[in-house]
Amino acid sequence: MSKKIAIINDISGYGRCSTAVILPIVSYLGIQGCALPTAIFSNHTGFPSFFCKDFTQYMPAYISEWKKLDLQFDGILTGFLGSERQIAIVEDFIQQFRNPNTRVIIDPVMGDNGRIYSTYTDKLCQKMRRLVAYADIVTPNLTEACILTNTPYKACGWTHSELNTMAQKLLDMGARQLVITGILMGKDSVGNAVAEQGKMTIFQRQRVVEETRSGTGDVFAGIIAADAVNGIEFAPSVKRASRFVRQSLVETMKSGETARNTGIDFEATLYKLKRR
């Protein structure tokens, strides 16, 4: 029987982000992706205008049908959650569908580049901290890690000690493993801080572009979730996810897709992502 991951995230009809990139990645890695929408967008919010349908009121009935089918999930991956009600629904979903072998991966989509998303209130941030307690793995970017731990944000200049303190605060919330992504490590490199079992390690890679591009975190989280379900160790999974994002960024720049809201050209690079 094929392994399955429940992907709880928004769906954008255009723009490489969220469920639109996670589904093909987990499928390529041999896992059936099962989408539970939190919102439906015509195109993601990085464009000047977009249509959005909040899916909150439909989520319980949608989940109820999965219960009737007695679906079992090897992984649960959460992404964009737009309200306190949605976080409560996801908490209940994890409690209903989690079994001893289910890996729960929380990608706390809350902000980027030092700015919190406009949909997030202080109360919503508190609810997200509570959701992190359910995680086996949590994958915040630097901004989100700062928000979750009430740490003042700075774009660069982080010491190992500062990052370790923040990582330990996140682990203390309940997650077993975590990676803080997108840490500027000088002019030409970016780092990921990996923490598990009380130990933190920083992996660095050369920067490809200066600005953030849409969907990179979703590509990264999709690989991490699939690898977790496939039994790949966490640190090697982070390294290969980071390498793949970089390869896709290089391919994107070659293709001439310079607009950041088009995301990254992961389709052209997918064959480089080794399967088990």
pLDDT in tens, 145-191: 999 999 999 998 999 999 999 999 999 999 999 999 999 987 788 89
pLDDT confidence of 88, banded at 50, 70, 90?
very high
User: Which residue is it, tokens 């840490």?
Assistant: 183
Residue 48, domain extent: 4-272
pLDDT of residue 211 exceeding 80:
no
| CA 112/CA 120 separation, integer angstroms | 12
The reply to whether the predicted model has a pTM over 0.85 is yes
Q: CA-CA distance, 158 to 161, in Å (whole number)? A: 8
Q: What is the mean pLDDT of residues 225-248?
A: 96
Average pLDDT, the chain: 93
What separation, in Å, do the N-terminal and C-terminal C-alpha atoms of the chain show? 17
Distance CA 121, CA 125 (A): 6
| Whether residue 222 has pLDDT greater than 60 | yes
Output the pLDDT for position 232: 96
d(CA 199, CA 197): 6
Mean pLDDT of the region 38-63: 94
Tokens of 75: 């992984």
Cβ partners under 8 Å of residue 66, min gap 6: 34, 36, 97
Average pLDDT of the segment spanning 72-78: 98
Q: How many distinct structural domains can be found in the chain?
A: 1
CATH number of the CATH domain containing 132: 3.40.1190.20
Give me the pLDDT at residue 259, please: 72
Q: Could you tell me whether strands 177-184 and 137-138 are parallel, antiparallel, or unpaired per DSSP bridges?
A: parallel
